[in-house]
Structure 1
Amino acid sequence: MAQVKLHNVRYAGMTTCVPHRVVSNMRDCPPHMRSARERLVRNIGIEERRICSPWQTFSDLAFDAAEKLIAELDWQRDEIDALIIVSQSPDYLIPSTAIIMQDRLKLKHSTIAFDINLGCSGYAFGLHVLAAMIAGGGVKKALLLIGDRAAAVVDPLFSDAASATALEYDPTAPPMFFDLNSDGSGHRAIMLPAGGHREPYGLQHAVPYRDEDGQWRSTAELELDGPAVLSFSTQVVPPAVRKLLEFADCPLEDVDYFVFHQANRMINETIRKKLGVVPEKVPSSLRDFGNTSGASIPVTMTARIREQLDGQSKRLLLCGFGVGLSWGTCLVDIDHAVFPEMIES
């Protein structure tokens, strides 16, 4: 377990971007599936999702979010020292998307730019990496871009989104606290088996087959072990939250909002009840935006508590968990940061 306390880092602002296209899990499914889909929607709590246009990539959404945030902060582009992208939806396998984004955003050539391959837990991990660089004193202003293009019309769970977060060096800022964990023994619980060097993509992976629920799938699609993910999430997240609060010497009652990765209603409600947190302190964006992978925490912050955060002082506990398996928790004091309205692209 890696528990870290970082000083001199200010959370300056955040914005999110989602596609224009809205897909309904009820209306946009075949008639013969409607009854089963109704039961599924009741369990997972996802009614609508956002899906990119065919020409859009995750980085297009991230670019719009970053442009908006830079403008709202009135940052000069030659002041930005680092750019980190956390995504499992790169533009290309080579080169990294962050290198391309450095050029698209017209940042200076000395800007540090690299990718991190993480999904659901990625926001806490990405914040830690960027905050650690700033805490060291060499990086003064930096951007974290996170999200994925993971949605499909026939899949009722995933949605597309991206977010940009700005951190800056500030010796007066309150400390940030992190707890980061990994368990690779469960890597098959959420997995895209084909397409890498271990199993290169071939024509056989495009051949459809019927799964145990009677749905047509292929081995080129994401494999998700629902029961394993449910067991993992509900067992590891509550203790991780308590341990971080103990490490930070912060009572549960002193946290204004607990923002969790938006997995599904059953998982998130179980976590909330185990922690004994009132629903008013646990915002959810599942109903309207679905599971937006690493961007789900920023999406929830923007969609549900933006007005409470914009220019205000709040203490947030942020927790992402999932693919890897991995889970990361952070405690962040947000003081007069910038939170623009959600962008639709």
Structure 2
Amino acid sequence: MALFEFKNVRIAGISAGVPANIVCNDDNAIQSGNYDAAAFVETTGVRQRRVSEKLTTSDLCYGAAERLIADLKWDKSEIEALVFVSQTADYILPATACILQNRLGLSKECYAEDVSLGCSGWVYGLSNVVSLLSTGGVKKALLLAGDAKKRAEGPRDPLFGHAGTVTALEYSEGAKGFQFHFGTDGSGYDAIIIPDGGSRNQVSLQSFEIQEVDGKMMHRFQTRMNGMDVFAFGISVPPKSIKKLSQKYDFDYMDADYFIFHQANMKMNEKIRTKLKLEEDKVIYSMPDFGNTSSASIPLTIVAKLKGKFENRLVKFICCGFGVGLSWGTVAFETENIVVSDLVEME
């Protein structure tokens, strides 16, 4: 059972970078004759998104990292680990974490790795970094998470936005730390999938042929989603995961100050909220302004919607990421005296 905790680690700061370019979903956000903008916004809650034709995930993470490191007044030579979580890496190889280590000017003795996960990725990446820090061998580390420029362009999808985030963590003797629950259902691997481009289905001329899939015209480098399967998964798994975590570690999840869920879509997330019987003001949303930003969605929501509201007091968070894989991860933690940088908007 993937339930575990790490102590003696705290979040020192959080930042987020997004493209300055705003796309409104009441424009021609998707090239489809049957696209109903009003109905789409009502169902998903996504009014607008940040998108860029040129910025990669690493560009957005880099901008956010430089801002956060400066705000924290950290010495870059003391940052000993960097974990990059994304499904839109710069290259097939090398790992983007290696590129970011050099670009940020970190020590050549810095631990650096990529994690290929989407919607649950921030929670998974957080557990990786926290485990490195918990023994005190590593003192300061960065978790970079997000998704941006896709592998190949196609018709616009009005649900997804681009963002890169940075979570700075440090060893702190006596800190309460983090409690995690994880799960995976690989039988649903094809519920959210890009069919071509990997080793199993390599690139061919047919990969670029436009086909109709569930009423949308798309090629095989675009993300395909079985909406009904994903919806059923999304409304059932997070409530169970949160309850399991609270039972294991004997706390009342209702005592949390804020719940931040992966920003999937408003209808799905509101189902989760009502199943858990949570007060509306405890569940924070950024999707109306930024859309579904994959592994960036949880920290982006904290930066965009909570900055100035919690930094200098003790606050309890419960966060849950869920989706592609199918995979999920829930984490409970506290913050106090945390730095939240201004949102970095990049051209």
User: If the length of structure 1 is used for normalisation, what is the TM-score?
Assistant: 0.96
- Aligned partner letter, 1:22: I
Structure 1 window deviating more from structure 2 (35-44 vs 228-237): it is 35-44
Distance (whole Å) between structure 2 residues aligned to residue 158 and residue 270 of structure 1 = 20
Measured in 1, the distance between the counterparts of 2:141 and 2:269 equals: 31
- C-alpha distance in 2 between matches for 1:246 and 1:179: 11
- The corresponding residue for 1:186 is 188
- C-alpha separation in 1, matches of 2:29 and 2:111: 44
What are the residue-to-residue correspondences of 1:40-55 with 2, within 5 Å? 40-52=40-52, 54-55=53-54
For 1:333, the equivalent position in structure 2 comes to: 334
Contact 2:56 2:149 in 1 (8 A): no
Superposed, 1:225-244 pairs within 5 Å as: 225-244=226-245
Higher deviation after alignment, 175-184 or 315-324? 175-184
Give identity over the alignment, percent: 41
> Where does residue 200 of structure 2 map in the other structure?
198
Structure 1 distance, partners of 2:320, 2:103, is 30
TM-fit CA distance, 1:176: 1.0
In 1, Cα distance between equivalents of 2:300 and 2:239: 22
1:221–1:134 CA distance, 2 compared to 1 (3 A): same
> What stretches of structure 2 of length at least 5 have no aligned partner?
none
1:153-203, Cα deviation, whole Å (9 max, x unpaired): 621111000100011001121131011111111100010110001000111
What CA RMSD, in Å, does the superposition of the two structures yield over aligned residues? 1.5
Cα offset for 1:293?
Answer: 0.2
Corresponding letter in the other structure for 2:196: A
Determine if contact 1:143/1:164 at 8 Å carries over to the other structure. yes
AA matched with 2:274: K
Flag as ranges the 4+ runs of structure 1 deviating above 6 A. none
Please say if 1:26 is aligned against 2:26.
yes
Letter in 2 for 1:274: K
Matches for 1:214-253 after TM superposition, within 5 Å: 215-253=216-254
Amino acid at match of 1:129: N
- The aligned counterpart of 2:127 is 128
In the alignment, the residues of structure 2 paired with residue 85 and residue 68 of structure 1 have an alpha-carbon distance, to the nearest angstrom, of: 17
Q: Aligned pair in 2 of structure 1 residues 126, 209: CA closer, same or farther (>3 Å)? A: same
Per-residue CA deviation, residues 250-270 of structure 1 (Å, 9 max, x unaligned), is: 212320000000000111000
CA distance in structure 1 between the partners assigned to 2:36 and 2:328 by the alignment: 31
The answer to whether the Cα contact below 8 Å between 1:192 and 1:223 also exists between their aligned partners in 2 is yes
Name whichever of 327-336 and 200-209 sits farther off. Answer: 200-209
Go from structure 1 to structure 2 and tell me whether the alpha carbon gap of 1:114 and 1:35 turns closer, same or farther (over 3 Å shift).
closer
Give 2:73's aligned residue.
74
Match of 1:302 in 2: 303
Q: How many angstroms does 1:41 deviate by?
A: 1.6
Q: Is the 8 A contact 1:62 1:145 kept in 2?
A: yes
How many residues are matched? 343
TM-score by length of 2: 0.96
The equivalent of 2:271 in structure 1 is 270
Q: Distance in 2 between matches of 1:133 and 1:211?
A: 43
Amino acid at match of 1:288: D
* Structure 2 CA distance for aligned equivalents of residues 31 and 156 of structure 1: 10
Q: Secondary structure at the match of 1:309?
A: coil
